[in-house]
Amino acid sequence: MDARDHLIVDYRLEFAGPVHCGTGLRAGLVDHTVTRGPDKAIRIPGSTVKGMTRWQCEWLCRLALPPEEREVSFSPLIEDIFGSKARESTLFWDDALPEDAVAADSPSEEPMNWYPGPSRTRVALSRLTRTAEPGRLFTREQAPEGMTFLGRVAGWLGGPRLPGPAFTYGLPLLVAGLVLVDQIGAARSTGLGRCRTRLTCLEVNGEAVEPADLIRHIDDLEYYNYARQEG
């Protein structure tokens, strides 16, 4: 049976080192600038967090089935959460803002993280020769080390309900996938963007829910296709 739950999920991204979520634009001597809002505060785009969460959710879906049954598709469940080309997601991912910017009492109180972040100059390497490519020196702006960002996911989540609790199958998958996000942004192979994701608030239909109470139902994903067929 299909249902819809109204969700509010607040989370905190705690970065262990620098992070780069780029704009694709250059400014002055910096070839790759970080994403900023109208107030010039560095931010983590909600679309970036959404993409990393989706990757983790797809990985969890593959783990939910034994090898001989992994051809069963979880695409409808993933689309319930993240949408597809044919239909929009009903969940909205706000940009994650620096925690000190969110805590500022007024726009005149400018946190230290609103100022230009440190930059790092590197050289592009040829994958063929594994040597430096001529004329490929570039500078990448980074958010300072140890920043903490606050973000929110809110909206409606539909789909078949779990056999026991009054939640849709997508809810424990979304929560588990978000908690598993441990690296964000560009140059992850060089160690940038390592983080820990913590949920600070989870409300389902106006009631507070413990994330652990949802995550323990992740094993029930193996029954999702049966529930969808019966619905």
For residue 93, what pLDDT band results from cuts at 50, 70 and 90? very high
The pLDDT tens digits for 22-39 are: 665 455 444 456 667 777
Q: Which two tokens stand for residue 128?
A: 């063929």
Which of 3-7, 26-30, 59-63 shows the lowest mean pLDDT across its residues? 26-30
| Rounded Cα distance, 155 and 153, in Å | 7
Q: Tell me if 126 is assigned to some domain.
A: no
Q: Tell me if 130 is assigned to some domain.
A: no
Q: Which two tokens stand for residue 197?
A: 């994701």
Higher pLDDT, 62 or 124: 62
Q: Which two tokens stand for residue 110?
A: 């400018």
Instruction: Record the pTM.
Output: 0.81
Domain CATH for 175: 2.40.30.310
Helix or strand or coil: residue 39?
A: coil
Predicted local confidence at residue 163, as pLDDT: 76
Q: Tell me if 189 is assigned to some domain.
A: yes
Q: Tell me the mean pLDDT in the region 171-178.
A: 95
Q: Tell me if 134 is assigned to some domain.
A: no
Tally the domains of the chain.
1
Q: Tell me if 127 is assigned to some domain.
A: no
Burial of residue 60 (CB within 10 Å: 0-12, 13-18, 19+) is: middle
| Rounded Cα distance, 203 and 175, in Å | 11
Predicted local confidence at residue 74, as pLDDT: 78
State yes or no: pLDDT of 109 exceeds 50. no
Q: Tell me the mean pLDDT in the region 53-79.
A: 79
Q: Tell me if 192 is assigned to some domain.
A: yes
Full residue range of the structural domain in which residue 184 is found: 2-24+36-111+144-230
If residue 54 lies in a helix (H) or strand (E), which one and from where to where?
helix 46-63
